[in-house]
Structures are given as structure tokens and as C-alpha cells.
């Protein structure tokens, strides 16, 4: 089994498209104003957004995008006007993460984990 796609809700899909294009995703399906799909710049996964009338309540979603050059990416995105909740920081679970929110308040984590993503020292064999 392989993860193909994640779909998230949005109150304003057009506004969300602009945000995710700035992050570097490539729009491949345009059914505005109700649905869009993107390709990630690396790998085979796709990411889509669908229009909803109300957003889920509670903690919501956390979406992780990995980039080998995290610090440079964060710097570039800041220059494009993206606001971060936290700058890149080394975590105890051996990932380097920067946190932000999309226009709908979904948690976005840009990170680099390298081999520790699937094989940290506490990995189960």
C-alpha cells in the first residue's frame, strides 16, 4: 500500500491555491471554486483541497512537507510574505521543523528528517 493523496477542507479554495503555489506545489487539476489538486515537487504524492461550508472543529489537520534544504526554503518563503509560527528548530525526535498555518488555519510543518523519518534510533525492526 502507498499513500496517494491527502485532501483537506477549505472555506476559500482560490485563496488556498495561492498559498500552496507559493509553498512550491504545482496545480494539476483546476475545478475552482470547489476543488483543486496539486503535485508535490518531489515524489509521487498529490495534495488536494475541496470547498466546505464549515471547517472541522478541534485541533484540525497537521500536514508535513519534507525538504532537504529546510532553512533555505523557510527563508525564501518569508521573502514571499509567508508568516511562520516558529522558525526551523531541532526537535528531540531528530527532525528539524518550522511551523506555519495555511489560510484555513490548518497546521503546516515544513521539516527535514532524512533517514530519521522512517529509521530513528528507536525504530522497531
Condensed to tens digits (0 to 9), the pLDDT of residues 32-48 reads 999 999 999 988 899 99
List all residues 6 or more positions away from 51 whose beta carbon is below 8 Å from its beta carbon.
9, 10, 11, 13, 33, 34, 35
What is d(CA 35, CA 67) in angstroms, rounded to the nearest whole number? 26
pTM score, two decimals?
A: 0.90
Counted domains in the chain: 2
What is d(CA 48, CA 42) in angstroms, rounded to the nearest whole number? 16
- Average pLDDT across the chain, whole number: 94
Question: Is the same domain home to 79 and 112?
Answer: yes
Question: Is the same domain home to 38 and 67?
Answer: no
- For residue 118, the 8-state DSSP code is T
**What Rg, from alpha-carbon coordinates, does the chain have?**
15
Condensed to tens digits (0 to 9), the pLDDT of residues 65-108 reads 999 999 999 999 999 999 999 999 999 999 999 999 999 999 99
pLDDT above 90 covers a percentage of the chain that reads 86
List all residues 6 or more positions away from 24 whose beta carbon is below 8 Å from its beta carbon.
41, 73
The residue segments making up the domain with residue 121 are 60-125
Residue 38, classed as helix, strand or coil, is: strand
Q: Which residue, 51, 64, 124, 122, is CA-closest to 96?
A: 64
Residue finishing a domain among 52, 69, 90: 52
Query: Can you give the pLDDT at residue 1?
Result: 67
Amino acid at each position: 500500500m502507498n499513500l496517494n493523496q491527502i485532501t483537506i477542507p477549505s472555506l476559500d479554495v482560490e485563496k488556498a491555491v495561492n498559498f500552496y503555489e507559493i509553498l512550491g506545489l504545482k496545480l494539476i487539476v483546476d475545478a475552482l471554486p470547489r476543488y483543486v489538486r496539486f503535485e508535490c515537487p518531489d515524489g509521487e504524492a498529490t495534495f488536494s483541497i475541496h470547498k466546505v461550508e464549515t471547517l472541522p472543529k478541534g485541533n484540525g489537520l497537521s500536514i508535513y512537507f519534507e525538504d532537504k534544504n529546510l532553512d533555505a526554503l523557510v527563508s525564501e518563503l518569508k521573502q514571499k510574505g509567508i508568516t511562520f509560527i516558529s522558525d526551523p528548530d531541532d526537535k528531540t525526535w531528530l527532525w528539524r521543523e518550522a511551523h506555519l498555518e495555511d489560510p484555513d488555519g490548518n497546521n503546516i510543518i515544513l521539516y527535514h528528517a532524512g533517514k530519521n523519518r522512517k529509521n530513528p534510533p528507536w525504530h522497531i525492526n
